[in-house]
Structure 1
Amino acid sequence: MSDVRQAAGSVGDGPHGAHPELEVNHVTVVEKGPLKKAISGATMGNLMEWYDFGIYGYLAATMTKVFQPETTDQTTGMIITYAVFAVSFLARPFGGIFFGPLGDKIGRQKTLAITMIAMSLGTGLIGLLPSFATAGWWAFAALIVLKMVQGFSTGGEYSGATTFVAEYSPDKKRGYLASFLDTGSYLGFAIGAAVVAALSFGVGDDAMLDWGWRVPFLLAIPFGLLALWFRMKIEESPTFESTQAANAAAEKHDEIDESQTQLGLIGIVKHHWRPLLIAMALVGATNTAGYSLTSYMPGYLESNHDYTTLGAATATIPALIALSLAVPFVGKLSDSIGRKPVYWIAIISTLVFTYPAYLMMENKSLVWLSMLMLAFSVTFYVAMSASTLPALFPTASRFGGMALSYNIAVSLFGGTAPTISESLVKLTGSKASPALYTMFFAVLGGIALIGMKESARRPLPGSMPTVGSEEEAKELVETQHDNPDLDHDELPFHAHDVAKAEADGEDLGDGKRLAGV
């Protein structure tokens, strides 16, 4: 890693008892250049991912007409269309199971390049499919296959991107820097909405039904190539590289706990079941709110409140842009007051604002305000995800833990949100019933939050502290015993000291005399 290094210093036992002193050589220093490349590359990929998923939601009513028989009634057709959307999410856990351990083995950067290529192709090929009128149910089946390809590749995308950015970010700025990922996510939704709205306005409803719907999907290929170009310019996560080296050396000498090594699926569940459950609950709360605003809302407005495709798409754009711009500020706030207080704002605002927002949609003059009310809670949710969720797992199995928990939760609860929400409308006859689904998961998220440990400003589990300059590293060492965010008992001194000693050619026999041994 050319611009990412371990700051120079000495190793030694400290005067404060059992644990060793934190020395400057323990601290990972990340230069600004590689950090900016990492953030921009991961953000561009995330933007592309949610553009891909967003356009399907914004074209839901059109896709219903293109890929289903004309005899299908509108409500049933929309439920089927949303079910296809949910099918793509059912493939995500399998993608997570595949890409998560792969990312822990070969690295974050290489894995994210693979997922970017597969995701762009899966989305772009949808634009080349024949319609139901041309190929019948074969067209519908092909749509399902490509949505599953899209979902499988995405299974490694968000979990990998959050892991990558969280590991690259200095501890004190992780909330702020990692939040740019979700700025990219919701800008991707906004760009998708803008593309659909512009096409609908420019070519009209008939042309959109005939050929216009293909354009947003086909654009995924050049957009994906652009995102891939950004990703290929970034270096591997410094935290991943240093931890891999440390764990390899410590494992060689039988000096590392099993839970801190790279684990497979069974090992992750065995050692990290508690953070898995916490992550799944928080992801469920975040994504039922998030997908209700993005993927579900355009179709909901069309099928339940008689909006046009153009009207439904434009109704959500201001809220999505406001959300995207606000996310970094909320991320920065979390670095100051903590992740948990910000999550509580998201949960409480969901319980307070969601039901009234759905009631207000009956009045088209208030739809802008109702979208902003929904976006308020989503902003506080999503600004936390990229910094909080990776901090639940140790570095050696972080990608795998993130991929497993995130993709299971998002497939079961997020991807099914449009289908379940529209089914609730049909079953209950209440157009506000989808609000209850979102509110239920907010309650579950609150229960999980009670058991979650605060992670703001603290080193990631299984890693030594990360800072943005050598000056910060020296200051951290000098103030270590007055720093409430630094717990020496949780820092992997021994693994890193074993790696350093081995790299320096020191004897590692029975007479080991390293810090903490």
Structure 2
Amino acid sequence: MSNVQRNDQTTRLFSRASQGLAESRLRALAALIRRKPPLTEESITVVDQPMLKRAITASALGNTMEWFDFGVYGYLAATLGKVFYPDASSSAQLLATFATFAAAFVVRPLGGLFFGPLGDKIGRQKVLAATMIMMAVGTFLVGCIPSYASIGIWAPILLLIARMVQGFSTGGEYGGATTFIAEYSPDRRRGFLGSWLDFGTFVGYSLGSLTVTVLNGWLGEEAMIDWGWRIPFFIAGPMGLIGLYLRMKLEDTPAFRKQLDDHEAKMKQNESAGREIGTIFVRFWRPLLICIGLVLLYNVTNYMITAYLPTYFTDVIGRSQLSADLLVLASMVVVVLIIVGVGALSDKIGRRPVFAFGAVMQIIVAVPCFMLFRSEGIWAPAVACVVFGVVLACFAAPTASTLPALFPTSVRYGALSIGFNIAVSAFGGTTPLYTEAIVKATDNTLVPGFILMVSGVIGLVAVKYLKESAGLPLNGSPPQVDTTDEAAETYADAKEAALVG
């Protein structure tokens, strides 16, 4: 097949996907006209553009700070092992460091159970401000902990406590941030605007990893073990204050404010958190399972690359710290460069095709890429890192716009926080720990590739049952648009679709 034929075929596929989304949108608008109370032009939300920009900036900055910490921790794993577990072997140091890393994820579901229903009850903005404070304090305190040489066993205990504070706050962060951006975004641009949240994620990770790489090269191993490891954690404090300032300047989302006008929503204000959690598991178990499947797909890949791969290169393959750091950073740069474009693409062709393409690609390339990682030289591993960057972008870009669409406004924050954190705790943050353990037990360096293949298959099952949401109003909400002219056009489309239907 010639390049021209391939391009024509791709164009036709994109055209059919776009046409399918347009038809789905018209059917959804027609349904809104027929419901009681019916859709009116006045009930269509015209987004406040300056507030939308502030909402995206504040939410993305929170993710930037969170993942700056994860990038730092992943790249400092070997150093932290020597600081907090100096009497252990190098393998035991890594396992202990990853176990402490994973401990933060054990408490994340507790944070989700606490902050999620609270965000549905008192508002998204207040809870996101609280989680930002806790994240900044927890990260800053890590840098203040004395070493094992100074206070003995209390050093790793204090590290564990600080990590659990971070994990508890993070339990309410991502679910709230995705809800916040989704409820502010116009329907036709939700994929593009939501992708900025995870753009912040990978910018934060890249900045964290770059900071450690520069410090390692500048200070050397001895100074890093002595005091240099503290510097990146101290940097996160001011970042948190900036994020908090931006979040305090925000209004709550249009969807949440409209919900407060409803009688049923007012009754919900008196509903206990336990009752909402029960409602989520009983009434919304299907979308909850889909949410868990998609988050598993995204986060097993995410943590395999961001948290485990630096150690895999140095401890398993035997590469230098500098080359390992630069290779993983290459994957992150690829994600940063293309994630917003992939998010915009998901608005045009749908979320499901983007997720499905990434999952199939991961199943095909996971093991070959880890074979390339074992190659000598830099080019073969670099190609594999770029490929993984593309795969990861296919999961990261549509996630923030897909997950909030699974649930109605009344339980969106709580359901997202619960589903997201169950998946991340069980299958995401623990990925470095169990991957390292299995590799050591089997002495098989391709184990990470097989784990990624399994996650790809599970993700494909979730995509199969996922309803397309690109361009459609959020579950239970009226349409959201950029301008009053678009509101009039949307209402006219809805009336025409209702008549035709």
- Tell me if both proteins adopt one fold, taking TM over 0.5 as the criterion: yes
Return the offset for 1:391: 0.6
**C-alpha spacing 1:301/1:15, structure 2 compared with 1 (3 Å):** closer
- Work out the CA distance in 1 between the residues paired with 2:156 and 2:239: 25
Aligned equivalents of 2:48 and 2:473: distance in 1?
17
1:50 matched to 2:50? The reply is no
For the Cα contact (< 8 Å) 1:68–1:77, is it kept in 2?
yes
- Provide Cα deviations, 1:6-58, integer angstroms capped at 9, x if missing partner: xxxxxxx9998776653101211112111111111111111111111221111
Amino acid at match of 2:165: V
Alignment of 1:197 onto 2:213? yes
> Letter of the aligned partner of 1:425 in structure 2?
V
Secondary structure at the aligned position of 2:393 is classed as helix
Checking the alignment, whether the CA contact within 8 Å between 2:52 and 2:184 is kept in structure 1 is yes
One-letter identity of the residue aligned with 1:205: E
Selected match of 2:184 from 168, 172, 197: 168
Asked if residue 407 in structure 1 is aligned to residue 421 in structure 2, the reply is yes
Greater CA drift, 356-365 or 409-418: 356-365
Q: Distance in 2 between matches of 1:35 and 1:333?
A: 20
The 2-side partners of 1:169 and 1:199 are apart by: 39
CA distance in 2 between counterparts of 1:177 and 1:16 reads 27
Do the aligned partners of 2:33 and 2:39 also contact (CA within 8 Å) in 1?
no
Instruction: Provide Cα deviations, 1:224-263, integer angstroms capped at 9, x if missing partner.
Output: 11111222222211111112222547869xxxxx9xx996
Within 2, Cα distance between the matches of 1:251 and 1:105? 10
**Deviations 1:344-371 (CA, angstroms, capped at 9, x unpaired):** 0110111112111111111241222121
Distance 1:48 1:471 in 2: 38
* Corresponding residue of 2:14: none
Distance, in Å, in 2 between the alignment partners of 1:146 and 1:331 is 34
Contact 2:260 2:266 in 1 (8 A): no
Amino acid at match of 2:70: F
Q: Is the 8 A contact 1:285 1:441 kept in 2?
A: yes
Q: Find the counterpart in structure 1 of residue 407 from structure 2.
A: 393
Please, which runs of 5 or more residues in structure 1 have no aligned partner?
1-12, 253-257, 489-517
In 1: Cα distance, 2:322 partner to 2:229 partner: 13
Letter in 2 for 1:321: V
TM-score by length of 1: 0.86
Aligned to 2:353: 341
Displacement, 1:307?
2.7
Q: Which runs of 5+ in 2 are unaligned?
A: 1-29
Distance 1:178 1:29 in 2: 18
Structure 1 Cα separation of the partners of residues 101 and 33 of structure 2? 57
From the two aligned structures, give the one with the greater helix fraction: 2
Q: Which residue of 2 aligns with 1:27?
A: 44
Alignment of 1:209-248 (within 5 A): 209-248=225-264
Shift of 1:290: 0.5
Quote how far apart the aligned CAs of 1:468 are. Answer: 1.0
1:97/1:400 contact within 8 Å kept: yes
Does residue 1:41 correspond to 2:58, yes or no?
Answer: yes
Q: Aligned partners of 1:370, 1:319: CA distance in 2, in Å?
A: 9
Instruction: Give the match for residue 373 of structure 1.
Output: 387
CA distance in 2, matches of 1:120, 1:53: 13
Aligned to 1:452: 466
In structure 2, the residue matched to 1:134 is: 150
> Does residue 100 of structure 2 align to residue 84 of structure 1?
yes
8 Å CA contact 1:162–1:178 kept in 2: the answer is yes
Distance change >3 Å, CA 18–CA 483, structure 1 → 2:
closer
Q: Is the 8 A contact 2:334 2:390 kept in 1?
A: no
Provide Cα deviations, 1:252-280, integer angstroms capped at 9, x if missing partner.
9xxxxx9xx99621111111111111100
Q: In 2 relative to 1, CA 137–431 (structure 1 residues): closer, same or farther, beyond 3 Å?
A: same
1:180 to 191, 196, 200: 196
> One-letter code of the match for 2:110?
F
Q: Which amino acid in structure 2 is aligned with residue 467 of structure 1? A: V
> For 2:203, what is the secondary structure of its paired residue?
helix
Specify the code of the residue in structure 1 equivalent to 2:418.
L
**2:21 equivalent in structure 1:** none
What is the letter of the counterpart of residue 25 of structure 1? E
Residue equivalent to 2:84: 67
| Equivalent position SS for 2:102 | helix
Secondary structure of the 1:25 match is: coil
Counterpart position of 1:355 = 367
What is the one-letter code of the residue matched to 1:44?
A: L
Q: Distance in 1 between matches of 2:265 and 2:212?
A: 53
**CA–CA distance in structure 2, aligned partners of residues 315 and 239 of structure 1:** 42
Q: Partner of 2:446: helix, strand, or coil?
A: coil
- Once residues 32 and 453 of structure 2 are traced to their aligned partners in structure 1, the CA distance between those partners, rounded to angstroms, is 51
Identity score, percent: 43
| Matched AA of 2:279 | G
Paired AA for residue 407 in structure 2 = F
Q: 1:73, CA displacement in angstroms?
A: 2.1
Quickly say closer, same or farther: Cα 1:46–1:53, change in 2 above 3 A: same
Structure 1 residues 146 and 262, CA gap change in structure 2 (3 angstroms): closer
User: Hey, which bits of structure 1, 4+ residues long, moved more than 3 A?
Assistant: 13-21, 247-252, 481-484
| DSSP 3-state at the match of 2:46 | strand
| Partner residue, 1:279 | 291
CA distance in 2, matches of 1:290, 1:96: 20
Shift of 1:315: 1.7
Q: Secondary structure at 1:479's aligned position in 2?
A: helix
2:469 counterpart SS class: coil
Number of aligned residue pairs = 467
Cα distance in 1, alignment partners of residues 146 and 266 from structure 2 = 56
Give the distance between the partners of 1:14 and 1:359, measured in 2 at CA.
51
Deviation of 1:296 (Å)? 1.1
Cα 1:205–1:392 change in 2 (3 A) is same
Indicate if the aligned counterparts of 1:95 and 1:153 stay in contact, CA closer than 8 A: yes
| TM-score scaled by length of structure 2 | 0.89
Q: Deviations over 1:363-396 (max 9, x none)?
A: 2412221211111111000111100001101001
- Written as runs of structure 1 = structure 2, the 5 A alignment for 1:443-482 is 443-481=457-495
Distance 1:251 1:124, change over 3 A: closer
CA RMSD across the alignment: 2.3
